[in-house]
Structure 1
Amino acid sequence: MIGFIVAGLIIGALARLIKPGEQHLSVLATLLLGLVGSVIGGTIANLLGTGDIFELNVLGFIIAVIASVALIGVAEAIAQAVNGGD
C-alpha cells in the first residue's frame, strides 16, 4: 500500500512537470490525482493483458502519467470555474 502511494506521488509529480503552465495544486491534490491516474493506468494495462492492476509495468506507467496529466487539466478547469476565472 505504501508503494502504491509513493508511485501515485511520483506519477502526479511527473504529470505536473509534463503539463505546461503553472499549476495551483497542493501536494495532497497531486498525490490524489496521481493515485487516480495510477488506478486508471493499471486498469487499462490489466484490460490489455499486460499485467495486474497493482503491478508496475511500462504501459501502465505511461497510461497513468497521461491520465494524471488529463486529470490535472480537469482539476485546474474546475478550480478556475469555481474561482470565477481568476
Structure 2
Amino acid sequence: MTLSSLVTALAVGAVLGLGARWILRAVPFWVPLGVAVGAAVLGTVVGRLAGIDTAAVTAFEVVLQVAFAAAAVTLVAMTGDVRG
C-alpha cells in the first residue's frame, strides 16, 4: 500500500464517515468515522490483492474504497441504536 493510497483511503473514509455522522445522530461521533476509514483501507487492501499494484491511485481503487466505506456505514446505520 502506497502513501497516496493510504491518504486517499483516509480522505474517503473521513468524508463518508462525517457525512454519515451528519445523518446518524443516534450513534457516537467516532463510530461511523472509524468504521468508514477502516472499510476504505480494507477496500485498498482488497484492490491490491485483486491486482491493482501501481504507484498511483487508480479510479478502480477509489471506487472500491467508496463502496466498502458506504457498505460499512450502511451497516452501522442499520444496526445503530435508534434511541434518540
TM-score (norm 1): 0.59
2:35 counterpart (33, 37, 49): 33
Deviations 1:58-77 (A, max 9, x none): 21211111111111111122
1:42 counterpart (30, 41, 44): 44
Consecutive unaligned residues in structure 2, runs of 5 or more: none
The number of residue pairs the alignment matches comes to 77
2:60 equivalent to 1:65: no
Alpha-carbon contact 2:10-2:40 (below 8 Å) kept = no
Residue 41 (structure 1) shift? 1.3
Paired with 1:65 and 1:42, the residues of 2 have a C-alpha distance of 10
TM-score (norm 2): 0.60
Consecutive unaligned residues in structure 1, runs of 5 or more: none
